[in-house]
Structure 1
Amino acid sequence: MKKLFYVLTFLFLLLGSSNANAQDIIKSKDLSTIKVDYLSDDEISKIVAQLKSNNATIDDVESMALSKGMSQTEFDKLRTRVKEYEKKNSKDTDKDKKDKDKKKDDKSKDIDKDSEFGRRQEKIKNEKVKDSLNALIFGSQLFDNPTLNFEPDLKMATPLNYVLGPGDKLEVSIYGIQQFDDTVTVNFEGKIAIQNVGQIAVAGMSIEAATQKIKAAIAKVYSTVRSGQSQVSVSLSEIRTIKITVVGGKQPGNYSISSLATVYNALHLAGGPGKDGSYRNIELIRNNRVFKNIDVYRFLVKGDQSDNVGLKDNDVIRIPAYSQRVTVEGEVKRPGIFEMKKGETFADLLNFASGFNEFAYTASVNVLQKTGKEFKVHDIKESEYASYLPQSGDVFKITKILNRFENRIKIEGAVFRPDYYSFTEGMRVSELIAKAEGLKEDAYSKRARVIRLQYDLTTEIVNVDLSAALSGDVTADIELKREDIVTIYSILDFREEYKVTIDGEVKNPGEYEYFENLTLNDLVIQVGGLTGSASKRVEVARMVKSDQIDDADPKRIELLELQITADNNEQIKNFVLQPFDVINIRKMAVYEKPEMVKVSGAVTYPGKYAIANKKETVYNVVMRAGGLTSIANLDGMKIKRPIKEEQLKQLESIDLNLDKKQIGEDGKESNLKDKDSLNSKLTKKLRDDLKFATIPVNWEKIVKDKNHYSNVTLFPGDEIEVAVYNEGVKVTGNVLLTSEIPYRSGKGFKYYINAVGGVDNKGWKRKAYIIYPNGKASVTGSFLFFRSYPKVTPDSQIVVPEKPEVKKMSAGEWVSIGSVLASLALLIVTAFK
């Protein structure tokens, strides 16, 4: 304890002897007046040096400092500044400390990155939270936007009216014949100390006045300054932090901000006015008097920042409750809740809301007012906008204009410019047609139609003799009315749309438009000409027309047989087609392109072979491939036949006639939402997984008898696979070890299953089956208590399937069965008594 007392006493004595400010404020036994914020970096460095020289830390002297009156808050600040200083200087070397230029570089590490002039300011962090409750209040978006702030720009030149105070740092430089450079701090007495010059009181002075005073003091010491051979420069290098108070904001409290900060900066930090706070009568109180009334609307509406004055230490920003708010809804550019001052009119309110939008009904505005007992509705005429004084709680509703036109008329149909046109009283049909640039050539001149909207909103049709109206007949050229729709018909509207159809051996078969005098030659050229497989036979089916029904004639159409030259598109020049004719160009009787099959595996010449005749068999193709090689497995020949799309469509169309309830993969009953779901699964498996159907081939039988059923006729796309002889037997499925066992003559089915360790707990041994090399399969058979297994051959595969899950009966179901049996037994006993 004695050591700590010695350290603290020595520390404060050192401060007192080295700095006059510290000597006046730090009394020998009273530390209650110490303000750590006003201690300079040099004073902190001396405290750190004294602690190190006595092998003590700042934490060691905490209890002693508190006992001498220092508050816990001030000591925490002192501890923070000491530790920050130690951390900042922990990387400095002895060489850096002796070199003056290096010291300036070290100081620059603490300079605000946004400053290009060496000016720094303590950063103020303030996280914004979007205020959704007050989002409709006009002006609230100014203070809850995290990307918007009013922080002072440290890059700007120091304002000449900036008032210096304790904590500011000045950069004083003399340049010319004599040179001097020093950074001095305004201490809490308001003075700066310049080497060889002495102390100068600058607190409370503007930067401009302080500069003149400093120059005058330096000129007394430096003769070259006095003579003008050297110049003096004074600039603000570090801005002090001031404390202000915000009352009535969303986040009221005390704030430490830059001495360059303004009112809007402080309001932004406090989140703006609170829920019931005023945006138009904010008070800046300085020295216990209202220094300025701030109206945020002046900035929001006009961009006027005259209210955004600078702040001073201990300023108070008071946000009182609003006195009058109104709501604007509907067709304005900026609907919301607005605060009104006494004497402001609805025209001013409309200006705050940025005026009506393009859909607003502006002749009058409906306002919902509140009386002392109930609501009432009032209409404000356009002439009253500049005189009506809104009352607190008013709700102004601006409605849309009506979806109707006061002078619109429409013309459509066979005119050159069908559209809407402006209507004038006394307008006639001929005038409207003239506005539409006249009639088209296809206009139907006998009649025009006018659809008219009557006063009761019903419609009527008025027919017009168009040729008479255009020839000057005033009776026919009727007067039009607002919202009339005039329709000019086209003669093309009355014509039936005729088509002809061509099919068969042409490039682009289909339905085509019919024209008068259309010939077969014209149509053949239009569809791209004949294909190479076209024959000379052409059949034309023609519609039969008759006003009477002839039951004796069963014909529904007329068939015309024609002959053409198949290799020429120009023929039968005089055959003229009629509407709805169906032309069919027949195909040649024999016109087939060579198609291929494939042979792979253990043959002499594997590859693709053309089908030479209509009944090309397996034997013929294999022999064309050079026959089987010595390593071929005679029992391992099969045909892979591609599954055709037509077969898949047939499968999809089959109704499997299954119950709606099916057993799912998990063994539970489930309802089928679609009766074709199983069909689609099968179709998908065939199309994506299997792709081929397998046909087993018995080569030994074919060699002995070419008419054997295995010697099947091949189809285009078939593939003959000849397996290489393999002496292994594969065992897969639900067995303990999937493996391939060497074939042993005379060994049966059980031998190979036992060779892989037998079946597992899910294996269904009695349903095991074997797949032979040629694709044929055989299953295990049973009769009474005897079971017969299929014969095993080389290169075959034994598969043990999985047992299906069986739903076990619950205890309740067993009890139900037991009760039924008991009741049945009782019934039988009773019957035989």
Structure 2
Amino acid sequence: MFIKDKLSHFIHRIRPYQVVILFFLLTGPYSVIAQQPRSRVDQLSDEDVQNFYKKAQASGLSEVQIEQAAMSQGYTLDDIAKMRKRMTQMRTSTSLPQNQQPSESSRGRSLPSNLSMRIDSLSPDTMRRDTSRKLKVFGASLFENAKLSFEPNLRIATPRNYVVGPDDEISIDISGASTGAFQLKVSPDGAVKVPDLAPIFVSGLTIEQAEQRIISRLRQGGYQGLGKPGSGTSANVSLTNIRSIQVILVGEVVRPGTYTISSLGSVLNALYLAGGPNPETGSFRKINVVRGNRVVRTLDLYDFILKADQRDNIRLQDQDVIRVADYETHVELTGQVRRPAIFEVLPGETLKTVMSFAGGFADDAYRASITLRRNTARERRIVTITEDQIASFVPQRGDKYEVGKILERYENRIQIAGAIMRPGDYSLEPGLETVRQLISRAEGLRKDAFMNRATIIRERSDLDRENVSFDLGKLMRGEIADVPLMRQDSLTILSIQDLREKYYVTIEGAVNKPDTVEFITNMSVADLIAYAGGFQEGAKPNLIEVARRIRQDSAGVRTTTQEIHRFSVDRNLQITTVEGNSDKSAEFRLQPFDIVYVRTSINYEAQRQVNIYGEVMQPGTYVIFNRQERIGDIIKRAGGLKPEAYMAGAQFRRQGQLIGNDLRNLIADPGVEENLLLQDGDTLLIPRRSEVVTIQGGVLNPSSISYKADYKFDDYISEAGGFTDNARISKAYVNYPNGRKARTRRFLFFTSRPRVEPGSTVVIPFKPIDSNRLSPIERVGILSLIGTLAATATSVIINLRK
């Protein structure tokens, strides 16, 4: 007999040795079993049971094989059931580690290991995304989802109409007056073997029929009254491990061929493995299941997709053939429908049926008619299908239906905007047909409404717009006739604020929050000062000015351009006087565009500070005492200079910038020009005498060397290795520590070098790079060319003379 799977081949090879293996397992520490035949399992300790099970697993035999071998050696079903119960109790109470727990694979239902897999399910992408804008065939996306495999659920009760076949495993549990358990595998010839009984043929039977046949045979084998009412003994037959079957998919599928699926697999499971019907040529509505050369069921995928109807999604049997036919009629439905797609139409179906496939009209669809483009024998033609014809219209192959969108227009809209209580859109209807009725429906005018004029923008029959204006005040008083409205009219009522500049007032000067604010009627100067946060500390309340625009027109040009009003306001914001008109100061009110100026006190000034550091007696921060204070004054206030102070290197900075200033004569003569007036933030640093001179730029060895009193400029250059070839010697200069600089001077043939002092930096600039200068090779080439031309010219002249 040909053995198909590895497990069956292994069992076939070890079958002669099962008795030897079982004898090894049940001897040794388990010899007590032979001494106590009446209750062997009860004599075993928990440790003996654990060791027994570990050795049984190490033998390579399954639990079913061990039980069958034990029964052939005289062990009863009660002994085996007790052993299984002992092991189950031990797992529950002691929580054995995972590697010591008995395997339950033979008790729980599982799928076969040799099932076919869909090819694209191995891809890392769980979804195949189609980025093209091509219209899809309805239903094709059902088989593009890699997570939707239609695999059967193993956690359901065994279907009573399930047909048993080879490689299925059937579990039999006997309980009651007699106990027992059997795990039976259907052999390739279709039979199961119960110990001490003849083989029971079950292949081709339903699980219900197989249960009846097995129970009937067990009654004959010693289980009297098994399954009969009142006998006290019952049996439960269930399907554990299921077999695999092979089905064939032909016709217009994406990947036709033979597939191995679970015996619980359905038509959709097999279709998914094959990629589903071919969207280009296959039918989604005529999928035939052929069994024994006879069509047993026809599956319409539209019923499953649209209604979740699985009546035709039957469970397959071994060697079933699934055939996907060619489609007969495809039509396109696009536009304002819920599911635009290519739909398959069966004979007898109408356009109404196709619309139901598409989910019906979208919310903004034009329902009055549908545009059809139909193929004829030579060309195409346009057909307009009215709403009444949809139910009876029969689609044809190649039809393309398009549902339009409603127009962005309103058949009865009128609008009102502006100085109205409830602006917006309203419907033109009986009782709302005139301007007064519309204003009443909008809950009336606002108080700021401009009553002299209102306008209606009206759409004419040629879609041009025209303006209709009228006196709103007279209309509301009934002095003129009411204005009738038309569809698409837009009524605008202006506000008086729309017809003027935006009013504001401004406050500047010594207040805490200078600002420009919106004008409010009846605002006084004190009100605006309070809004600005009150006076600053240095404000001068008795000098407040208000600048006002001149509004009155005059015959000639006025010499003054603004009106100026002056006030005295105390810090309690009480106006005391107004210049030239003190009796009306309390009644003075601001007008739009007024600017209020609050002046600062003459003698009020915030503290200004200077910093002095270095070799002074008391370095630190000092306030500028008066407006005439100079650098020499701050040195005196700092206690004078220390003996180490080097005034030639004193650095004076203003706003962070070094000011070149020679302060060495400042102490002896305070009147020198270098004794500058101090400003806020000035910094003076008086260092110690530096004993280093730095040479930078175009020298061979830029460096810093010690200052020598007898050294001159050229001596320091020599200390740095001399000038480089690209040094710009005539532009050399010295940067002194106090920020001043001295350059090289030339007069005729005489050159005057600057003096070098302690802490100075000697800078030799570089010559600019001449990118147009010829290289030595280029110069040699040009000279060679000139020489050649000269020799040629000489030769020509000599020949001419001859």
- TM above 0.5, yes or no, is yes
| In structure 2, distance between residues paired with 1:309 and 1:801 | 97
- 8 Å CA contact 1:534–1:586 kept in 2: the answer is yes
Q: Residue 241 of structure 1 aligns with which residue?
A: 244
Please show how residues 84-163 of structure 1 align to structure 2 within 5 Å.
96-97=57-58, 117=108, 119-122=110-113, 125-126=117-118, 127-128=120-121, 129-131=128-130, 136-163=136-163
Aligned to 1:351, what secondary structure does the other structure show? helix
Q: Is the 8 A contact 1:110 1:120 kept in 2?
A: no
CA offset digits 1:412-436 (Å, max 9, x no partner): 3343322222212582333223222
Tell me if structure 2 keeps the 8 A contact 1:596–1:717: yes
Residue 713 of structure 1: how far off its partner (Å): 2.8
The separation in 2 between residues aligned to 1:576 and 1:782, in whole angstroms, is 75
Counterpart Cα distance in 2 of 1:766 and 1:800:
9
Q: Distance in 2 between matches of 1:549 and 1:728?
A: 81
Determine the structure 2 residue equivalent to 1:439. 445
SS at match of 1:246: strand
Shift of 1:338: 1.1
> Secondary structure of 1:280's match?
strand
For residues 807 and 619 of structure 1, do their structure 2 counterparts lie closer, same or farther at Cα, with a shift above 3 Å needed? same
Unaligned residue ranges in structure 1 (runs of 5+): 1-24, 27-33, 50-91, 643-691
Cα pair 1:530 1:569 within 8 Å, conserved:
no
Q: Is the 8 A contact 2:164 2:207 kept in 1?
A: yes
1:140 aligned partner, one-letter code: A
AA in 2 matched with 1:717 = G
The CA distance in 2 between the partners of 1:268 and 1:255, in whole Å, is 11
Deviations 1:209-264 (CA, angstroms, capped at 9, x unpaired): 22232233333334477495554333333222222222332233322222211111
Q: Would the alpha carbon gap of residues 203 and 419 (structure 1) be closer, same or farther in structure 2, given more than 3 Å must change?
A: same
Q: CA-to-partner distance for each residue in 1:319-356, whole Å, 9 max, x for gaps?
A: 22221111111111111111111111111111111111
Question: Structure 1 residues 147, 621: closer, same or farther in 2, change over 3 A?
Answer: farther
Return the alpha-carbon distance in structure 2 between the equivalents of residues 187 and 735 of structure 1.
Answer: 103
Contact 2:109 2:154 in 1 (8 A): no
After superposition, where does 1:189-588 map in structure 2 within 5 Å?
A: 189-223=189-223, 226=226, 228=231, 230-247=233-250, 248-274=252-278, 275-424=280-429, 427-445=433-451, 447-464=453-470, 466=472, 469-470=475-476, 476-491=481-496, 493-494=498-499, 497-514=502-519, 517-535=522-540, 536-550=542-556, 553-560=558-565, 562-565=566-569, 567-571=571-575, 572-588=585-601
Give the distance between the partners of 1:755 and 1:109, measured in 2 at CA: 94
Q: In the TM superposition, what is the alpha-carbon distance from 1:196 to its structure 2 partner?
A: 3.1
| 2:4 corresponds to 1:35 | yes
Preserved contact between residue 171 and residue 235 of structure 1 (Cα < 8 Å): yes
CA deviation string 1:574-593 (max 9, x = no partner):
43444443332222222211
SS at match of 1:273: coil
Q: 1:547 to 1:721 in 2, by over 3 A?
A: closer
Residues 462/210 of structure 1: CA separation in 2 closer, same or farther (3 Å cut): same
CA contact (8 A) 2:544 2:569 kept: no
Equivalent position SS for 1:450: strand
Offset from partner CA, 1:641-687 (integer Å, 9 cap, x none): 32xxxxxxxxxxxxxxxxxxxxxxxxxxxxxxxxxxxxxxxxxxxxx
Aligned residue number for residue 30 of structure 2: none
SS in 1 for 2:216: helix
SS of equivalent residue, structure 1 residue 369: strand
Please report how far the alpha carbon of residue 804 of structure 1 lies from its aligned counterpart in structure 2 after TM superposition: 6.0
The alpha-carbon distance between structure 1 residues 190 and 439, as it changes in their structure 2 partners (threshold 3 A), is same
Change (3 A) 1:784 1:382: farther
TM-superposed deviation, 1:141? 1.2
1:644-683 correspondence to structure 2 within 5 Å:
none
- 201-210 or 790-799: which moved more? 790-799
Contact 1:534–1:566 (Cα < 8 Å) also in 2? no
Q: Tell me the distance in 2 between the aligned counterparts of 1:246 and 1:772.
A: 98
* Amino acid across the alignment from 2:612: V
Q: Give secondary structure in 1 for the equivalent of 2:664.
A: helix
Q: Secondary structure at the match of 1:329?
A: strand
Does residue 615 of structure 2 align to residue 624 of structure 1? Answer: no
> Structure 1 residues 606, 215: CA separation in 2 closer, same or farther (over 3 Å shift)?
farther
Q: 1:772·1:793 contact (CA, 8 Å) conserved in 2? A: yes
CA distance in 2, matches of 1:313, 1:124: 14
SS of equivalent to 1:421: strand
SS in 2 for 1:160: coil
- Distance apart, 1:151 and its partner CA: 1.3
Q: Deviations over 1:557-613 (max 9, x none)?
A: 3444x2414544211324344444333222222221112222334444332221222
Report what 1:719 is aligned to.
Answer: 683
Matched with 2:40 is none
Instruction: Quote how far apart the aligned CAs of 1:294 are.
Output: 1.4
Structure 1 CA distance, aligned partners of 2:699 and 2:339? Answer: 77
* In structure 2, distance between residues paired with 1:776 and 1:138: 88
Distance 1:234 1:116, change over 3 A: closer
Find the aligned partners of 1:524 and 1:385 in 2 and give their Cα distance: 77
1:701 aligns with 2:668: no
Q: Does 1:611 align with 2:611?
A: no
Shift in Å at residue 358 of structure 1? Answer: 1.1
The reply on whether 1:640 has 2:653 as its aligned counterpart is yes
Please identify, of 508-517 and 164-173, the stretch whose mean Cα deviation from structure 2 is larger: 508-517
Worse-matched range after superposition: 37-46 or 231-240: 37-46
Counterpart residue identity of residue 514, structure 2: P
Offset, 1:392: 1.2
Structure 2 equivalent of residue 68 of structure 1? none
Give the match's secondary structure for 1:213: helix
- With over 3 angstroms needed to count, the CA separation of the structure-2 counterparts of 1:724 and 1:48, relative to structure 1, is farther
Change over 3 Å in CA distance of 1:438–1:710 after alignment to 2: closer
User: What SS is found at the alignment partner of 2:240?
Assistant: strand
Does the 8 Å CA contact 2:417/2:493 hold for their aligned counterparts? yes
| Contact 1:468 1:477 (C-alpha < 8 Å) held by counterparts | no
Paired letter, 1:614: R
Contact 2:108–2:241 (CA<8 Å) still a contact in 1? Answer: no
For residues 118 and 788 of structure 1, the distance between their equivalents in structure 2, rounded to whole angstroms, comes to 109
Counterpart CA distance in 1 for 2:696 and 2:224 is: 108
Q: Distance in 1 between matches of 2:57 and 2:701?
A: 77
Measured against aligned partners, the alpha-carbon deviations of 1:538-565 in whole angstroms (never above 9, x if no partner) come to 33333334544425x53333444x2414
* Corresponding residue pairs, total: 703
1:309 Cα deviation (Å)? 1.4
Q: 1:264 to 1:608 in 2, by over 3 A?
A: same
Q: CA RMSD in A?
A: 4.5
Aligned mates of 2:161, 2:700 — CA distance in 1? 95
Distance 1:593 1:532 in 2: 10
In 2, are the aligned partners of 1:243 and 1:254 still within 8 Å (CA)?
yes
Change (3 A) 1:362 1:628: same
For residue 212 of structure 1, give the secondary structure of its aligned residue in structure 2.
helix
Contact 2:544 2:596 in 1 (8 A): yes
For the 8 Å contact 1:779–1:789, the answer to whether it is kept is: yes
